[in-house]
Chain A
Amino acid sequence: KQEVTQIPAALSVPEGENLVLNCSFTDSAIYNLQWFRQDPGKGLTSLLLIQSSQREQTSGRLNASLDKSSGRSTLYIAASQPGDSATYLCAARGTGTASKLTFGTGTRLQVTL
């Protein structure tokens, strides 16, 4: 059974700082790894999807890496802004086209002025 863990559970940083969010998973046989953002009272917005054959994906100030062998993924946010404040969740999708996503519990990020 896949288990996904995110550390830290909460993080507060001043504006402009670069930061790293961590995600670990127990079963390395994954199809892909996704990072989502969730604002209070809202659903999840997909940020980045890394296929199992890839090492990283970039979108703007966001960069996600994947190391399947060690069961780890990181989300790097450059030059953080107050608008980045949200909860960030990672999710590992098992192999097979019909397999489900297993989510971590998220990291709650606050970027202060």
Chain B
Amino acid sequence: EAGVAQSPRYKIIEKRQSVAFWCNPISGHATLYWYQQILGQGPKLLIQFQNNGVVDDSQLPKDRFSAERLKGVDSTLKIQPAKLEDSAVYLCASRPQGGNSPLHFGNGTRLTVT
């Protein structure tokens, strides 16, 4: 079984620039998550999708962050414009719908904003 794929692995941008991250979940996984992990902290949920619908985006800074999962498969997360405090690792995770199944995480994208 192929794991959760994320790209790019690393990205360095200047503040006020825009950036996009891509995630392809495990095949058949209906639920997809984007997490932000700042150095030394646990991951914080940004947005949760169930198929192509948003379930929870309460902690997504909507003035600069956006995410979509148009066909209910892969997803993109965008930041525009970026701030210094957005420097973090952005993790994508997926799991099958329902039940007590664990989350499967990708390796993340490390973003540095200078």
Contact = CB atoms under 8 A, between A and B. Distances in A.
B72 interface: no
Nearest to A103: B42
Interface residues of A, number: 24
Interface string B100-114: 101111111010000
Contacts of B97: 97
B84 interface: no
Interface residues of B, number: 28
A105 B105 contact: no
Given A44-B43, A46-B102, A49-B102, A98 B48 contact: yes
Interface of B: 4, 6, 31, 33, 40-45, 48, 50, 55-56, 91, 93, 97-100, 102-108, 110
A49 to B, nearest CB: 5
Contact of B107 (A4, A32, A42): A42
Residue among A51, A100, A106 with the highest chain B CB neighbour number at 10 A: A100
Contacts of A106: 42
Interface string A96-112: 01101111111000000
Nearest to A106: B42
Interface of A: 4, 31-32, 34, 36, 41-46, 49, 51, 89, 91, 97-98, 100-106
SS of A interface (majority):
strand
A75 to B, nearest CB: 15
B46 to A, nearest CB: 10
A43 B50 contact: no
Given A34-B103, A45-B105, A97 B98 contact: yes
Contacts of A89: 42-43
